[in-house]
Structure 1
Amino acid sequence: MTIIHIPRRGVLFGGLVAFLSGCAGKFRTYSGPKVTRLRLYKAQRLLVLDGADRVLRTYPIGLGFAPVGHKQFEGDGRTPEGSYVIDRRNPDSLFHLSIGISYPNEADIAFAESLGRSPGKDIFIHGGPRRGIDPTNVRDWTAGCISVTDPEIEEIYAMVSNGTPIDIYA
């Protein structure tokens, strides 16, 4: 039996290279037409990225585990309906990559508070979970977010800027 001796520095360097190469692959660049608006159709499970004069891309989506109706309270499993904007990005998301939606707005907050409840927060468009659930086989598994596949969120993350309007329809 031959024992191969690899210096500790080589093991650490190799591990670092593997880690960084895995992360680097999820960040794409996009140089096409600007995305001017997102439209999300809950009943059709469809996300549309619009440009100034045409549809740029469409994606099938998954929703919250209670997909019918507008999100009203924290923990209700619903996806919001209405007009919002993309307001943040999370490159370290537990769900590969994610972009945030500006839910709750003032009306959402006022409604929930009038009933002594929290409207919830942290609604994102994101990729699939790291393990346990395959979003391509389970349609509506999130807690109110919008899910796409990991390759799809990589495209969306590169194409959509903060401040882009999103309209979410029942």
Structure 2
Amino acid sequence: MSLISAILLCCLAGRLFAGELPIESVRVLKSEHKLQLLSANEVTREFHAVFGSNPLGHKTQEGDGKTPEGVYLLDYKKSDSAFHKAIHISYPGERDIASAQARDMEPGGLIMIHGQKNGLGWLSFISRYLNWTNGCIALSNADMDQVWDLVKEGTKIELLP
């Protein structure tokens, strides 16, 4: 085995043991209140999540209190949010827009994964039991810190019922 191959193998093994494989996708299971980070199709981390105030079903219009379902991208991070960090979900997609327009409605937008409202992080021991957002996915601030650090912009997110 060449010296270069041995070095590369050691680096890869170190990353595997350190749990530092890059996150390839995010999966949300609304009915189970879970947000999962996946690498090589395996769940590497799992967090408790809460959703819109009307969590059943796919978001169809602005103000419906629903969290979208489907496949989107986490397209940008927002550190200056009204909440403890936020990662934007690329909702609405073309189909969401067309569906809302067919009903003469607005699809809504600004759906994010975020922590608690700034200054209210101490309430997460209560808010974790309530679907309180306008359609976003809320985590505890500590969990949001991990997601923020591990998930890169452009990562796929799949939101399931």
Q: TM-score, normalised by structure 1?
A: 0.79
RMSD: 1.7
Q: CA deviation at 1:49?
A: 0.2
Give the aligned partner of residue 168 of structure 1.
159
1:140 corresponds, among 128, 131, 145, to: 131
Matched, 1:91 2:82: no
1:71 corresponds to: 59
Kindly indicate whether residue 143 of structure 2 is the aligned counterpart of residue 152 of structure 1.
yes
SS at match of 2:32: coil
Counting only pairs closer than 5 Å after superposition, residues 111-150 of structure 1 correspond to structure 2 as 111-131=99-119, 134-138=123-127, 139-150=130-141
Question: How many Å apart are 1:162 and its aligned residue?
Answer: 1.0
Unaligned runs of 5+ in 1: 1-30
1:80 to 55, 68, 82: 68
Question: 1:128, 1:148 within 8 Å by CA — same for their partners in 2?
Answer: yes
CA distance in 2, matches of 1:111, 1:46: 27
Deviations 1:8-66 (A, max 9, x none): xxxxxxxxxxxxxxxxxxxxxxx811000111000000011001253210000010000
Q: Output the CA distance in 2 between the equivalents of 1:136 and 1:115.
A: 39
Bigger radius of gyration among the two: 1
Contact 1:135 1:141 in 2 (8 A): no
Task: Find runs of 4+ consecutive structure 1 residues off by over 2 angstroms.
Answer: 130-136
Question: 1:61 & 1:109 partners in 2: Cα distance?
Answer: 26
SS of the equivalent of 1:111 reads: helix
Structure with more helix by fraction: 2
Instruction: Give the Cα separation in 1 of the matches to 2:93 and 2:144.
Output: 24
Q: Quote the Cα distance in structure 1 between the aligned partners of 2:125 and 2:101.
A: 36
SS in 1 for 2:44: strand
Matched to 1:156, the amino acid is V
Which ranges of structure 2 fall in alignment gaps of 5 or more residues?
Answer: 1-18
Which moved further from structure 2: 38-47 or 48-57?
48-57
Question: TM-score, normalising length from structure 2?
Answer: 0.83
Corresponding residue to 2:33 among 40, 45, 52: 45
Superposed displacement of residue 131, structure 1:
4.5
Offset of residue 157 of structure 1: 0.6
Cα distance in 1 between the residues matched to 2:124 and 2:51: 10
